[in-house]
Amino acid sequence: MEEIGCGRTSTVLRLRPGVVLKSPHSFRPGSGLAELTELAVTTEQAVLSRLQGHPRIVQYLGYYDEPGGPNGLLLAEASHGDLQTYLDTHPAPDRSLALKWCQQAVEAIAYVHSRGVVHSDLRTGNLLLHETVPGSGVLDLVLADFGGAACPELGVDGRGMPSTPFLHPVYATDDVASVGLDLFGLGSVCYVILTGHWPHSTAPGGRPAREAQARQEYEQRVDELFRQDIYPDVSTLPGGDVVLRCWLRKYTTAEDVLHDIRTGDVHVLEDGS
């Protein structure tokens, strides 16, 4: 199996064309990392089972457990990988495509919340791009990575938390995940889609370097700006008013965000047209 991705708790392997295996890392039993990994797997499996059947949610295909081999969650593979990598390596999307992706991100969160789930780790790296109709060239957003999600009805809480700039510091100390966490993240996700760079980033390429010091300096600076509700100017961005309201925590539901995107001054083309 070919490795196509690796995160803190799991490795993503291509099992066969169109199907990937999200296999948890092995850690010493009883260690904090082992407990975190087990929690992420059980949470994601339960939440994905609850959310299946929506076009904006990654397709869960069951649990893979073969003797002597890796085990984990079987997922449909997104044809064009994660959104952040795509934005880093391709020309900027035109206005209509960028707005469509913004709307699809909001659609995903609105559906997740309607099912009693908070994603808790919304960021551009956890959104995937998939050519829904093979050969069409039309790419649609799909939300993935639910290992940190929370769903009281299911009794699961993966205790996820996005990093800056997809998190407002006011949520960083919350004991219970709230919908506000995701709604703020939508503002930053849409901003990145519309501009190609992270909020308040002056680094080449639009986001801070991967080196720990550079990333830490960026996060400390942006956290302080966010605490003061100081955000980039979005007055000239299509949908900028929606982005700003997300950042200022003016929304109480994702449905309200979706309503404003659909009925605002900007026009989002449906079905990739």
Closest alpha carbon to 227 in 173, 191, 160: 173
119 close to 179: Cβ distance less than 8 angstroms:
no
Q: Give the pLDDT of residue 34.
A: 78
pTM: 0.93
Question: Which two structure tokens, joined as six digits, stand for 57?
Answer: 């949610």
72 - beta bridge partners?
64
Q: Give the pLDDT of residue 176.
A: 77
Q: Give the pLDDT of residue 267.
A: 42
Q: Please give the full DSSP string across the chain, using - where no structure is assigned.
A: -EEEEE-SSEEEEEEETTEEEEEEPP--TTSHHHHHHHHHHHHHHHHHHHHTT-TTBPPEEEEEE-TTS-EEEEEEPPTT-BHHHHHHHSPPPPHHHHHHHHHHHHHHHHHHHHTT-B-S--SGGGEEEEESSTTS--EEEEE---TT-EEGGGTEE----PPTTSS-GGGTT-SS--HHHHHHHHHHHHHHHHHSS-TT--SGGGS--SSHHHHHHHHHHHHHHHHTT-----TTSTTHHHHHHHHTT--S-HHHHHHHHHHSSS-PPGGG-
Tell whether omega for the bond before 165 is within 30 degrees of 0, i.e. cis.
Answer: yes
Task: Compute how many other C-beta atoms are within 10 angstroms of the C-beta atom of residue 89.
Answer: 8
Domain 81-263 has CATH 2.40.33.20: no
83 close to 129: Cβ distance less than 8 angstroms:
yes
21 - beta bridge partners?
13, 74
Q: Give the pLDDT of residue 199.
A: 98
Report the distance separating Cα 267 and Cα 128, nearest Å: 23
CA-based angle 89:94:97, to the nearest 5? 95
Q: Rounding to the nearest 10 degrees, give the CA dihedral for residues 187, 189, 195, 196.
A: 160
**Segment-wise mean pLDDT, segments of 10 residues, the chain, 273 residues:** 80 93 81 83 97 98 87 96 96 96 99 98 98 93 98 96 96 87 98 97 85 93 98 96 98 97 61 38
Report the distance separating Cα 191 and Cα 243, nearest Å: 7
Show me where the domains of the chain are located: 2-76, 81-263
Architecture per CATH, domain 2-76, reads as: 2-Layer Sandwich (3.30)
